[in-house]
Chain A
Amino acid sequence: MSLLEVSNLRFSIDKRFLLCKRRKEILRSVSFSLDAGSTLGLIGESGSGKTTIAKCLAGIYEPCGGTINFRGLNLYPETKSRKALGPKIQLLFQNHAASLDPRLTVRESLVEGVPEKDDRLIEEAITKFISMVGLPEDVLVRYPHQLSGGQRQRVALARALSVSPQLLILDEPTSALDSLTQIQILKMVVALQKQTAMAILYISHDILTSSLVCDSIAVLHEGVIVEQAAARILLQQPRHPYTRRILQATLVQTPPRNNHRAEKN
């Protein structure tokens, strides 16, 4: 049995225009599964419903139909079972500036998630999580505005990890970061996954970056998964016309590598 099984997930919102009310379907019928220790990429254009799936899984939005099973526990339609589950599903948002409370220092932000009650154990846990994400201890006394984007995203990640999640949903975790910082964060996420065997749902509009971290990738288009394949296969042999289109759009901006870099290596 997979860790996470989502079948026929549907979500719609009411749109008002003048006096008319129209129902707009965001997710039409989304099904996928995810095993412990593996990474599934979810890619698609802006507005395709990627973040909506993340919010449905995290319990922020209530779906309109379908089922969500996590470790054999039904999270939808049985919404009450989410309380019994505890914080096993964590969500890391794209907007690192908004995901931390600006009034709390990094230490205070981290303390909220740590389950230990004893002061010494709390301190040990905080030190462990901050070093897991590759940050020096002196950031603990800083406020979010005193950190760089990459550091803030690492703190948000440390916070998510502090409750030992079994599923980590990363919603565009590196799209606001430069290429160098992005690679450092992705390497760290992959290393942490090996340590903890958590499953990762990696949401991104960037097919190339997703292929670096994901075992398989699902392509979302207008609320439906139009193609799912192993990351390498999707890059080399995209089958759906929509996948081909987004791949083409990405490759226009990233021409093949120059030879000089191979020489330098």
Chain B
Amino acid sequence: MDPRPRSHDDFIEGLLARVGVEQPAEVLSCYPHQLSVGTLQRILIAMAIAPNPRLLIADEPTSAVDASMRIQILDLLRNLCEEGEMGLFLITHDLSLARQYADRVAVLYAGRIVEMAQAEEFFKEPFHPYSWLLVESMPSTESSLPHMPTVPGTIPSVDDLPAGCKFSPRCFKVQDDCRIEEPALISVREMRSVRCPYWK
């Protein structure tokens, strides 16, 4: 991180400039409702990196901003991680972010990790049925809505979890034993584990 500037305001303005806030001096005198969602998100990131943390937990850091700003913000987070040897724990529903910025990926469903893998391998071939559906639902320039996967139901609420595998009521590979006993997270390759005995 840069050496701490002389005054507190300079330090804050410097932080805001680093996260890409335009006219930081002007922004400092604004209230949240006067700023755009994108600017607010950048300010939150500035607040998080201010004490120079070793681990940054970023919970959906860019869910409300557009694609070009998303790249800028995550590039910034990645640079900060590299410079300050900070670890980044990126929580996101946006698979394209995980594909581009994560070294490793863990997919969570109903409170269970259903798959863990190196990001590159994961996106090349997701093993768990839920992971496969998630990757398949990512829109691309060639996608058309009628051809995208349809899955019945929604994620179960925590007070009403199904018996056995939590994804079994919606799974296209479901077998009888899936509904009885919850499968364990099994290691299938080096740095790769999946919570489904029928992953192949």
Contacts and interface: CB of A to CB of B under 8 A. Distances in A.
Given A148-B154, A183-B137, A213-B145, A260 B64 contact: no
Interface residues of B, number: 50
A99 interface: no
Contacts of B39: 46-47
Interface stretch (B2-10, B78-86, B93-101, B178-186): B93-101
Interface string A57-95: 000000000000000000000000000000000000010
B175 interface: no
B38 interface: yes
A48 B95 CA distance: 25
A18 B29 contact: yes
Q: How large is the interface on A (under 10, 10 to 19, 20 to 34, 35 or more residues)?
A: 35 or more
A258 B123 contact: yes
A104 to B, nearest CB: 18
Main secondary structure of the interface of A (DSSP, over half): helix
Contacts of A252: 71, 100
Contacts of B136: 261
Interface in A148-201: 148, 150-151, 172, 175-184, 186-187, 190
Given A175-B63, A175-B64, A253 B71 contact: yes
A258 to B, nearest CB: 6
Nearest to A94: B64
Interface of B: 26, 29, 34, 36-39, 60, 63-71, 93-97, 99-100, 123-125, 130, 132-146, 148-151, 154-155, 157
